Amino acid sequence: MTIRRVLIFAPLILILFLLQSYFWVPTYEQQTRGNPDRLKEYITASIADAALLNPILLSDVASGEIEGLVFDRLVDFDEEFRFRGRLATSWELYEEAYFYVNELSSVPGLGKVGAEKIADFINEAKEKDDHSNPGLKACLDTIKKIEIIPPGLFSTIRSEKHPKKNKKETEVKILVNTPSRIKLTLTEVNQDLFRNLVRLLGANYFSSFSGESYIKTEPQVEREKLAKYAEELLPATEHNPIIIFNLRPNVRFHDGHIFDANDVKFTYEAIMNPKNLSPRTADYEPVKRVEFIDPLTVRIVYKRLYSPALGTWGMGILPEHILNDRSLKKEAIHLGKDPGTFSIRQSGFNRHPIGCGPFVFREWRSDQYIALNRFDDYWEGPPIYERYFFRVIPDWLTQEMEFYAGSIDSYGGGNPPSGIPPHQVERLGNDTRYQSFSGTRLGYTYIGYNMRRKPFDDPRVRRALGMAIDVDKIIKYVLHNQGERITGPFVKQTDFYNPGIQPLPYDPEGALRLLKEAGWIRNKGGWLGKNGKRLQFTLITNSGNDIRKAILAIAQDAWKQIGIDVRTDLLEWSVFIQERVDKADFDALILGWSMGIDPDLYQIWHSSQTNPHQLNFVAFRNKEADDLIIKIRQEYDHGKQVEYCHRFHEIMAVEQPYTFLYVHRWTAILDKRIVIKEVDNKGSPAYKKIKPIKTGDYYFYFNKWIKRIEVPSFALDG
């Protein structure tokens, strides 16, 4: 053998040696020789390790894949993408609405009247068979019960700083002497309730209510502050949507403890506890309170209209008995840490989770694998696979070789799927030896700019950076046409996405004109500068992702071509997320979002979500955008939601907090021996081919997957 041949075959020999080293994973040939153990386990691979395994804390896809197997949730979606019960067997969604009696406003035909007259007036209107105003009639028909809440008195305290002087905070005691209030119990959430009731009570009945006249403060405050207190403490009208969940009986956590309503209440409280720094806080901020009714009933009351409410309870539920204050205090003392500051975020639970999902956590070796065992007491029946391995293999070539050898069961799989490298799609996607699945991601890839830092606080600079990159070439040569342009933050397959927004053009000269307008001028050496300072920054992304690595090089080269001094850095995934993204310690980064179809983007884009461990880590702030985000999450009318989303999309196209790059098409391949096993009423098994549901999710029936010794006949032809 010549030296040249040695050099060629050395990498292959090394790969084969590595494959042999995974002692617990026989090859497919060994399986067919009668080794039953390998048929009982499913092995998948990921380019990145998980960060932590706690549903209220996770913010990365790798962690989410394991979390979805270890934990269960109250609801999720069925094959048609409709809500279905999981830990909840059923639910009731209705509303309690309130308004204060406006003692100074005249009601048409009644004049100035009190609470009893108002209640009687609404009841009489309900009983009339009046179709002259269908909107009002429909509104009144949703009112199930009318109650009067008598006048009351309460006090509260606020801490305030002097608006001009840099003094310590002073306490303001607020005394509230409330007028009578009307409570309306509705059969459903009715966002148009008060817009319709003004037709009955008068156009100004609610808008002219002055809460300020019922408030006194000690010491006195300026009128503007008093009005703010009134708006908070005595809102003229109030919508309180309510969800009552009926919980599934006899569900057990993996340690045998029975799941009940306390665990739901605790999960909410853990999310809202500021010590835990949960990135999910924004989803639950609209909740007013979570009430334990009995062990199998929980009542959730919302402060205001919140259309995504039901979907947020797709959150994995935590075990209260393991993570309550008493248990955390005991853990802190055992670890020699301060119990007063110790939180769920520091708990060992995040690496040794206990849920009530279909798989039990067994072992986690960082940057190697996570091992799970089947939960035999799972409420829906145990999965067919007895073991689940999540292996960390950051190199695509190694993953491919291990798939061929049978050391992993899928290539480009996962939930959601990572997808095989784009250049392999045509070859492997049509290979009849494997099952192939393809789809368009619910999400997108982007370059994000830290707007806390200069020059990224200038939208002209952000737009110029986007215009300097030829995204079409990235799609053609890096993605091998397995992607398409995207221009904004909504899932492209939904009507919330605004198709009228055009992608940024590839225009380096136009980018230079924008940068010149922003004060950045090229010097004789070709570098852009301003006030004697070169335009210089660092672009980062995670290692182990060849596509992002390629984009890193392309963006660096494109920006250097127009005179920007760009450095690049590749970081190990956990360091990238925990030290740079979570702490907002970066100039610019390449990352992607995996999303649901709901248009609520509060966590990612609202200006209140820019703190450490929150998801608006680029620090985007825009008053109109904030208002639209609130409208989107409070709007129950789909058409109006779409209208608000399209306007929000327009703002993002102007502001360019991200350079929106593309949405990726994915292809994953799976061993054909893996099929779905169904059992009929007589206990007879039947096997069928795995097919994705409407969303493209082919893992939907994963708990029914089984690996057979030979390829079933129905799978032989593709």
Structure tokens at 539: 């672009």
Instruction: Using alpha carbons, select from 703, 604, 493, 693 the residue that is nearest to residue 77.
Output: 693
- Amino acid of residue 548: R
Least confident of 21-30, 70-79, 334-343, 396-405: 21-30
Instruction: Using alpha carbons, select from 359, 388, 438 the residue that is nearest to residue 691.
Output: 438
Task: Write out the H or E segment, with its range, that includes residue 485.
Answer: strand 483-485
Q: What pLDDT sits at residue 163?
A: 57
For residue 630, pLDDT over 60 is answered with yes
Q: What pLDDT sits at residue 4?
A: 35
Task: Report the distance separating Cα 686 and Cα 675, nearest Å.
Answer: 10
Question: What tens digit of pLDDT does each residue of 383-421 get?
Answer: 999 999 999 998 888 999 999 988 999 999 888 788 888
Give first-to-last CA distance, the chain, whole Å: 41
Question: What tens digit of pLDDT does each residue of 284-297 get?
Answer: 999 999 999 999 99
Q: Over the range 114-138, which residues count as b (16 or more CB within 10 Å of their CB) and which as e? A: ebeebbebbeebeeeeeeeeeebbe
What homologous superfamily is domain 443-666 in, according to CATH?
A: Dipeptide-binding Protein; Domain 3 (3.10.105.10)
For residue 160, pLDDT over 80 is answered with no
Task: Report the distance separating Cα 671 and Cα 669, nearest Å.
Answer: 7
Per-residue confidence at 442, pLDDT binned at 50, 70, 90?
confident
* Residue that wins the pLDDT comparison between 414 and 50: 50
- Per the prediction, the chain carries an average pLDDT of 90
Task: Report the distance separating Cα 433 and Cα 421, nearest Å.
Answer: 18
- Integer Rg of the chain from CA: 29
Instruction: Tell me the mean pLDDT in the region 128-156.
Output: 89
Instruction: Using alpha carbons, select from 152, 164, 156 the residue that is nearest to residue 222.
Output: 164
Domain ranges of the chain: 93-241, 443-666
**Bond into 599 cis (ω within 30):** no
Q: What pLDDT sits at residue 396?
A: 86
Task: Report the distance separating Cα 429 and Cα 505, nearest Å.
Answer: 32
Q: For 643, left (φ over 0), alpha (ψ -120 to 50), or beta?
A: alpha
Question: What tens digit of pLDDT does each residue of 177-198 get?
Answer: 999 999 999 999 999 999 999 9
Per-residue confidence at 81, pLDDT binned at 50, 70, 90?
confident
Q: Over the range 514-523, which residues count as b (16 or more CB within 10 Å of their CB) and which as e? A: bbeebebeee
Q: What percent of the chain has pLDDT over 70?
A: 93
| Three-class HEC string of 3-19 | HHHHHHHHHHHHHHHHH
Task: Report the distance separating Cα 96 and Cα 145, nearest Å.
Answer: 9
Task: Report the distance separating Cα 442 and Cα 416, nearest Å.
Answer: 9
Instruction: Tell me the mean pLDDT in the region 659-668.
Output: 93
Q: pTM for the whole thing?
A: 0.82
Residue with tokens 């606020």: 158
Question: What tens digit of pLDDT does each residue of 250-270 get?
Answer: 999 999 999 999 999 999 999
For residue 10, pLDDT over 80 is answered with no
DSSP SS3 for 207:
coil
What are 178's strand-pairing partners? 152
Question: What tens digit of pLDDT does each residue of 479-525 get?
Answer: 999 999 999 999 998 899 999 999 999 999 999 999 999 999 999 88
Residue with tokens 């993204």: 581
Q: How many CB atoms lie within 10 A of CB 670?
A: 21
For residue 216, pLDDT over 50 is answered with yes
Q: Over the range 366-381, which residues count as b (16 or more CB within 10 Å of their CB) and which as e? A: eeebbbbbbbeebbee
Structure tokens at 620: 């985007």
Per-residue confidence at 129, pLDDT binned at 50, 70, 90?
confident
Task: Report the distance separating Cα 552 and Cα 475, nearest Å.
Answer: 14
